[in-house]
Amino acid sequence: MTVSQLCESIGGKIIAAADASDNLIKGGYTCDFLSFVIGKAKSEDAWITVIGNVNTIAVASLADVGCIILAEDSPLDEDAKDKAEMVGIPVISSSKNSFELSVELGKLLGM
Amino acid sequence: MSLATYRFEVPGDDFTRAGEASGSLKRSLKKIGFDPDIIRRVSIAMYEAEINMVIHANGGVIDVEVSPQKIDIWFRDKGPGIPDIDLAMQEGYSTAPDNVRSLGFGAGMGLPNIKKYTDEMKIDTEIGVGTTVYISVYAK
Ligand SMILES: Nc1ncnc2c1ncn2[C@@H]1O[C@H](COP(=O)(O)OP(=O)(O)OP(=O)(O)O)[C@@H](O)[C@H]1O
Ligand SMILES: [Mg+2]
């Protein structure tokens, strides 16, 4: 599934790096601690979090995830948005919470 | 024989710039043509150590030496030092203050991640004087 298909299925909105919305998503990881994501998220995961600062983007790029999903309408800082555009990590915004998004993503992935 | 050396000054308590040094080295290693997996491991370890200098030690200096065989990096700070290295290396141990936890730091996974992604890691520390973290990633 691509990031844009995922975004449409969960009723979200791409708020940064829409250029990279054909990135593939094959799994997911849900956590707000950056060092967990660095150590455990896999490439082509959709990363679900409520933290939207520049370090979120740096970590997403290090872990090479396919996209970030910001749950609970969490804000994306202005410098984080710029960095997301620069490194090409799409960010989806959603009003749903991390649990709801994890369940929906799992269903979409046939888990 | 060294291919290149780099030095980065890391300012303390500036989270918006934290990660710049590791990002910059990542680009240099790409240009030199290292294997993507080696670059990924170096970038991850360097990011964690760089962030630790910002959060726990008010910044410091990073020296990098790149050779065809390996990438060596020294992180030197004049922070408070680490009282118990074995404890600090444990997954989940963190003294990160609340204000940085709200930014996503403080899982106590940084040092374990560095260990996991490097071939050599050594911490020299003295209370009240500072800490030097040395890491090496083999390039074969
Ligand atoms: N350069 C340093 N100077 C002083 N203390 C340090 C330094 N680096 C690490 N520490 C100590 O070691 C602890 C563990 O570090 P580690 O990187 O594993 O976790 P953390 O930085 O607290 O959280 P995380 O890295 O998961 O965001 C820190 O909380 C801190 O007490
Ligand atoms: Mg750390």
Model confidence over A46-100: pLDDT tens digits? 999 999 999 999 999 999 999 999 999 999 999 999 999 999 999 999 999 999 9
Q: For chain B, give the secondary structure using H, E and C.
A: CCCEEEEEEEECCCCCCCCHHHHHHHHHHHHHCCCHHHHHHHHHHHHHHHHHHHHHHCEEEEEEEECCCEEEEEEEECCCCCCCHHHHHCCCCCCCCHHHHCCCCCCCCHHHHHHHHCCEEEEEEECCCEEEEEEEEECC
Structural domain tally of chain A?
A: 1
Total domains present in chain B: 1
| Alpha-carbon gap, residue A49 to A51, rounded angstroms | 6
Q: Least CA distance to B101: which residue of chain A?
A: A33
CA distances from B7 to A108, B16, B45, B63, B93 (A): 46, 19, 16, 5, 29
Domain containing residue A102: CATH number: 3.40.1390.20
Does the Cβ of B52 fall within 6 Å of ligand 1? yes
**Residues A12-21: pLDDT tens digits?**
999 999 999 9
- Which residue type sits at A104? E
Mapped onto helix, strand or coil, the DSSP state of residue A50 is coil
**Rounded to whole angstroms, what are the CA distances from A36 to A2, A66, B10?**
24, 17, 23
Can you tell me the distance from the alpha carbon of B50 to that of B105, in angstroms, rounded to the nearest whole number? 13
| Size (chain A), residues | 111
* 8 A C-beta contact, residue A67 and residue A23: yes
Q: How far apart are CA A100 and CA A102, in angstroms?
A: 5
* Any ligand 1 atom below 6 A from CB of B110: yes
CA–CA distance, A94 with A85 (Å, rounded to integer): 19
Q: Residue A41 in contact with residue A47, Cβ under 8 Å?
A: yes
**For position B19, what pLDDT does the model report?**
84
pLDDT per residue as tens, chain B (140 positions):
789 999 999 999 888 777 889 999 999 999 999 999 999 999 999 999 999 999 999 999 999 999 999 999 999 999 999 999 999 999 999 999 999 999 999 999 999 999 999 999 999 999 999 999 999 999 97
Closest by CA to A61, choosing from A33, A91, A28, is A91
| Structural domain boundaries enclosing B75 | 4-138
Atom nearest to B109 CA in ligand 1: 26
* A27-30 β-sheet, strand order: A13-16, A91-93, A67-70, A45-49, A27-30
Chain A residue numbers with beta carbons less than 8 Å from the beta carbon of B15 are 53-55
Which residue's CA is the nearest one to ligand 1's atom 29? B94
Domain that holds residue A80: 3-108
**Closest CA to ligand 1's atom 19:** B108
Instruction: Find the CATH number of the domain harbouring B85.
Output: 3.30.565.10
- The token pair at A104 is 């929906």
**Partners of residue A39 in chain B, C-beta under 8 Å:** 109, 112-113, 116
The pLDDT, as a whole number, for residue A67 is 98
User: Per the structure block, which two tokens stand in for B130?
Assistant: 């500072």
Predicted model pTM? 0.95
